[in-house]
Structure 1
Amino acid sequence: MGEAVLHVANLSTMLLCMVLKLPQIFLLMKLKSAKGVSLRALLLELTGYIVFVIYQMYYEYPLPTYMEYPVLIFQDTILLFLILHYSGNLKQSVIYSTMFVGAWQLLTHQKWILDLAMSLCTFISAGSKFVLLQCLWESRDSSHVSTLSWTMSTYTCMARIFTTVMTTGDLQVMARFIAMTILNMWVTATVLYYKQGCKKLH
């Protein structure tokens, strides 16, 4: 029974993550504007994803426990290019690409660097949520943020708490997913709150 639930959790997480950022991507393409979407939050999130993937690969954890992250990195990269494009800063993409490739090389150079980065990973990922929340609080406008993407993100983090308990039992990874679940729920609630406020104004 436990194996079947674990399989469903892994599969559902992977399937959702394959389309997780698509609602946000399509929303930006439809509006042709990155207003209300935080570049800093996206960069922090992308950094957290990269550190997490490298950590899982380095310690040879089971692929099903993190296989969605390369897909998320790819989707975040598309989002990054869209934000830079709509804000007229597309040339900066070369700088960011160089930084991320350099970071990848640095993290795999020494084990202690990777362990330290993973310890900070939760704070980096949490920072991305707080930056987005701050952006929403200041603008009081969530029309450019996809509720569906954040709802799916909340579910996938909850599923990953379960799969981590059932497989590796890594406390650092578990703490990260618990923190991300709480923050994703907070972002989702904030997005819904401001969307309701916009509806009332109209």
Structure 2
Amino acid sequence: MATSAMEPLRQIFLQYLMPEECFDRFFLHLDFLHVPCLKIVLSKVLGFGIILGSVMVKLPQVFKLIGAKSAEGLSFGAILLELFAITGTMAYSIANSFPFSAWGEALFLMLQTLAIGFLIQHYRGNTLAGLLFLVVYFCTVSLLLSPVTPLLVVTTMQASNMPAIIVSRLLQAGMNYRNGHTGQLSAVSVFLLFAGSLARIFTSLQETGDSLMALTYVISSCCNSLIAAQVLYYWNCSPALRKKRE
């Protein structure tokens, strides 16, 4: 009776959190300190936590742009490079059949980054260019995910993520430095991205064993820390205050 009652729970655990061996260790042998299984479960929980967080990680940035009706302080070039990196990770993961928990946040980050890119163009008076940007992007992604695209292409994209991430963050950092403030950059989004990229280093190694993926997140964490440091440094600086001082 107890076994049949646990069966639905067992199926959920086996599908999303752990292999059968770990389920048996935890719930049949009551061995809750088995390190390899603990790593698997921790990685899965972190992965799904990152995905859940990614659903709203950039929404503060989107809302800040809409509320201010301004994209001051945001680099469209940095957004394009970030989108390239996110798309590369997503396409590479799908092509290699990695579990969704290992890359799922890329899907939600992609959608939110697209929205930010469009809003930057819109608030700079280039709404038509923003719409064209969306159309071109979705056509490109459709091609990337289609069977006609060789695996070598998406692997090259993933390898190119590191310079793309570095340049995108340097573009944003340079704009922050020149402006003397972070403009409409959302501190909440910046810190959440930094925390997420740190956690992804562990989950990438644990769930995919792919050193290229892990190295990408190491680079991303380092670059995100630079922007996070600038947010803290320019915390009390605003565009209005900067203009007043000048």
Q: Shared fold by TM > 0.5?
A: yes
Q: Does 1:27 align with 2:64?
A: yes
| Structure 2: distance between partners of 1:70 and 1:95 | 20
Alignment of 1:183-202 (within 5 A): 183-198=223-238
Matches of 1:7 and 1:169, distance apart in 2: 14
1:52-201 matches, within 5 Å, as 52-104=89-141, 105=143, 109-198=149-238
For the structure 1 residues 181 and 110, does the alpha-carbon distance in structure 2 shift closer, same or farther, using more than 3 Å as the test? same
Does residue 48 of structure 2 align to residue 8 of structure 1?
no
Deviations 1:141-185 (A, max 9, x none): 113111110110011111110101111111111110001001101
Q: Is the 1:107–1:114 contact (alpha carbons within 8 Å) kept by the matching residues of 2?
A: no
TM-score w.r.t. length of structure 1: 0.92
Q: Distance in 2 between matches of 1:41 and 1:181?
A: 16
Task: Give the SS at the match of 1:42.
Answer: helix
**Deviation of 1:50 (Å):** 0.9
Instruction: Supply the distance in 2 between the matched residues of 1:142 and 1:94 (Cα, whole angstroms).
Output: 26
**Percent of pairs with identical residues:** 24
Q: CA deviation at 1:116?
A: 1.6
Following the alignment from structure 1 to structure 2, what is the Cα–Cα distance between the partners of residues 112 and 102? 19
TM-score (norm 2): 0.76
What secondary structure does 1:20 align onto?
coil
Structure possessing the higher radius of gyration over alpha carbons? 2
Please state how far the C-alpha of 1:84 moved relative to its aligned partner.
1.2
Paired residues of 2:47 and 2:102 also in contact (CA < 8 A): yes
C-alpha distance in 2 between matches for 1:197 and 1:82: 23
| CA displacement, residues 114-156 of structure 1 (integer Å, 9 cap, x when unaligned) | 2222211121122111110011011111131111101100111
Aligned-partner Cα distance in 1 for 2:97–2:205: 17
Query: What is the identity, as a one-letter code, of the residue corresponding to 1:29?
Result: I
1:17–1:68 Cα contact (<8 Å) kept: yes
Equivalents in 1 of 2:162, 2:140: separation in Å?
A: 17
Unaligned runs of 5+ in 2: 1-37
1:42, CA displacement in angstroms?
0.7
SS of the aligned residue for 2:157 comes to helix
Tell me how many residue pairs correspond in the alignment. 202
| Structure 1 residues 32-69: Cα deviation after superposition (integer angstroms, max 9, x where no partner) | 10010111111111111111101100011111101111
Contact conserved, 2:122 with 2:130, CA < 8 A, in 1? no
Greater RCO, CA 8 A, separation 6+: 1
Name which of 32, 36, 45 aligns with 2:73: 36
